[in-house]
């Protein structure tokens, strides 16, 4: 059987501008993260120097590690947009690789917090209100930026930015522990709860959060690196888009994968046509619909096979339920639907359905024709020559539905005619 492969490559003119703007925004947020981490590192080093606090010094080390991680994110995002002969599909997966690396940094931060909670913290020697104030400013900036990075990352579907945002949120808890310890030491407050200090209890909760966030990033990143399938909701949406195309009779398989924040899709479908040019036009139409409704699609590859008929679906307009053929198409009160098995010319299914569009004042023919297409009809047999009706003929031609003129006035005569045909 003839089989063809078509890669749908048509693109709307504004698509490049949208993706360019998206990549620019992602890079800008990554740059903000790097600058923020550098600023926090410098701030905490200065505070540690003047206060003599070991807790703040340890937090400064964490921020320095975060700066290195942010630099990796920035470099990775920059490299991920490049395509070369060696990497013709792009370096999008660098983002996912970075999210895995960032998850390891999160685990390191969790270990540092856990170790700090179990180690007696030396009392700060020179804690002043302005030191507490600057630490609080650092916590607030980290919290707000973390939420901002996650929001942008989800909108742009950037795993690296989401990882950056979650890392910042984990740092909020780490910084809060340091801030709380400094405040308690400033007021000389001693808290002991069943042998555990408030620092140790809070540290335990933070370590649990960090462990969960780190594992989520690690597992998501590894799924993409190992070419796991796209999320079911995305594939389901793409399936509905393909099935809405009248010329598609069957989806043989549909698969996809992520690479960074972009999606790669591949489908094998049966089309109601043997013409290569028409099949290419249909595949490009499907590709455009997918790009409009599903964000950040990098490539859509559609394989198509001509429709191999084993059954024949026939629709006939009826004047009544007794089988009398109607002289009108759009105004027919009923339609008969007959399914023939071509191998032995037997009737597999036969039913009569009421026309749902009889009350529509205008464009009945078009609405009924569209209804026929939804029922996956192969042939419409009517007393009228539907080729002379522009609306229905256009709908049927676009969907590959054949129109024939009825030879008799009764449904049984039409059925006998199909049974006696030598072909099909």
Tens digits of residue pLDDT in 45-101 = 898 788 767 667 667 767 776 776 677 667 666 766 677 777 777 777 777 787 788
pLDDT value for 422: 46
Report d(CA 6, CA 313) in Å as an integer. 28
* pLDDT tens digits, 297-347: 888 999 888 766 788 899 999 999 999 999 989 999 999 999 988 888 888
Over residues 180-189, the mean pLDDT reads: 76
- Beta 379-382 vs 248-259: how paired, if at all? unpaired
| Residues contacting 150, CB < 8 A, separation 6+ | 161, 162, 165, 166, 169
Mean pLDDT of the chain: 79
List domains and CATH numbers for the chain: 15-225 (1.20.1510.10), 230-306 (3.30.70.1350), 311-420 (3.30.420.130)
Instruction: Give me the percent of the chain exceeding a pLDDT of 90.
Output: 18
Higher pLDDT, 45 or 174: 45
pLDDT value for 9: 43
pLDDT value for 319: 92
pLDDT over threshold 60, residue 16: no
Whether 69 and 61 have beta carbons less than 8 Å apart is answered as no
pLDDT over threshold 90, residue 167: no
SS (H, E, C) the chain: CCCEEEEECCCCCCHHHHHHHHHHHHHHHHHHHHHHHHHHHHHHHHHHHHHCCHHHHHHHHHHHHHHHHHHHHHHHHHHHCCCCCCCCCCCCHHHHHHHHHHHHHHHHHHHHHHHHHHCCCCCCCCCCHHHHHHHHHHHHHHHHHHHHHHHHHHHHCCHHHHHHHHHHHHHHHHHHHHHHHHHHHHCCCCCCECCECHHHHHHHHHHHHHHHHHHHHHHHHHHHHCCCECCHHHHHHHHHHHHCCCCEEEEEEEEEEEECCEEEEEEEEEECCCCHHHHHHHHHHHHHHHHHHCCCEEEEEEEEEECCCCEEEEEEEECCCCCEECCCCCCCCEEEEEEEECCCCEEEEEEEEECCCCCCCCCHHHHHHHHHHHCCCCEEEECCCHHHCHHHHHHHHHHCCEEEECCCCEHHHHHHHHHHCCCC
Range with the poorest average pLDDT among 18-32, 89-103, 390-404? 18-32
pLDDT value for 121: 54
Report d(CA 138, CA 336) in Å as an integer. 73
Over residues 184-210, the mean pLDDT reads: 65
Report d(CA 251, CA 337) in Å as an integer. 23
* pLDDT tens digits, 242-286: 988 888 888 999 999 887 667 889 999 988 877 778 888 889 999
Whether 370 and 287 have beta carbons less than 8 Å apart is answered as no
- Beta 334-341 vs 311-318: how paired, if at all? antiparallel
pLDDT value for 101: 81
Q: Give the pLDDT band of residue 219 (cuts 50, 70, 90).
A: confident
């Amino acid at each position: 059987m003839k089989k063809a492969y078509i890669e749908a490559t048509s693109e709307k003119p504004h698509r490049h501008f949208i993706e360019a703007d998206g990549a620019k925004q992602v890079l800008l947020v990554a740059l903000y993260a790097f600058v923020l981490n550098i600023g926090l590192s410098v701030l905490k080093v200065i505070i540690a120097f003047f206060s003599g606090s070991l807790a703040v010094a340890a937090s400064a080390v964490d921020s320095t590690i975060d700066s290195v991680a942010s630099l990796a994110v920035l470099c990775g995002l920059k490299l991920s947009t490049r395509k070369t002969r060696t990497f013709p599909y792009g370096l999008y997966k660098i983002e996912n690789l970075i999210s895995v690396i960032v998850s390891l940094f999160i685990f390191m931060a969790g270990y540092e917090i856990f170790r700090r909670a179990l180690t007696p913290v030396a009392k700060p020697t020179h804690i002043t209100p302005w030191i507490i104030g600057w630490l609080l400013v650092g916590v607030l900036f980290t919290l707000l930026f973390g939420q901002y990075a996650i929001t942008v990352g989800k909108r742009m579907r950037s795993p690296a930015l989401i990882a950056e945002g979650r890392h910042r949120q984990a740092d909020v808890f780490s910084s809060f522990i340091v801030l709380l310890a400094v405040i308690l030491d400033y007021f000389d407050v001693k808290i002991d709860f069943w042998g555990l200090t408030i620092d140790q209890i809070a540290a335990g909760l933070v370590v649990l959060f960090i462990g969960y966030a780190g594992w989520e990033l690690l597992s998501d990143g590894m799924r993409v690196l190992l070419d796991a399938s796209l999320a079911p909701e995305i594939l389901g949406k793409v399936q509905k888009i393909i099935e809405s195309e009248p010329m598609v009779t069957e989806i043989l398989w549909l698969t996809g994968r992520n690479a960074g924040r972009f999606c790669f899709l591949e489908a094998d479908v049966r089309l109601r046509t043997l013409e290569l040019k028409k099949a290419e036009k249909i595949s490009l139409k499907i590709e455009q619909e997918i790009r409009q409704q599903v964000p950040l699609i990098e490539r859509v590859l559609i394989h198509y096979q001509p429709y191999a008929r084993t059954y024949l679906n026939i629709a006939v307009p009826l004047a009544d339920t007794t089988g009398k053929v109607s002289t009108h198409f759009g105004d027919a009160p009923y339609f008969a639907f007959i399914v023939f098995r071509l191998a032995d010319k037997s009737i597999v299914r036969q039913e009569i359905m009421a026309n749902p569009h009889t009350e529509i004042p205008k464009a009945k023919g078009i609405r009924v024709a569209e209804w026929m297409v939804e029922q996956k009809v192969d042939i419409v047999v009517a007393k009228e020559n539907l080729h002379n009706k522009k609306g229905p003929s256009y709908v049927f031609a676009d969907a590959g539905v054949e129109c024939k003129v009825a030879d008799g006035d009764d449904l049984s005569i039409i059925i006998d005619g199909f049974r006696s045909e030598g072909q099909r």
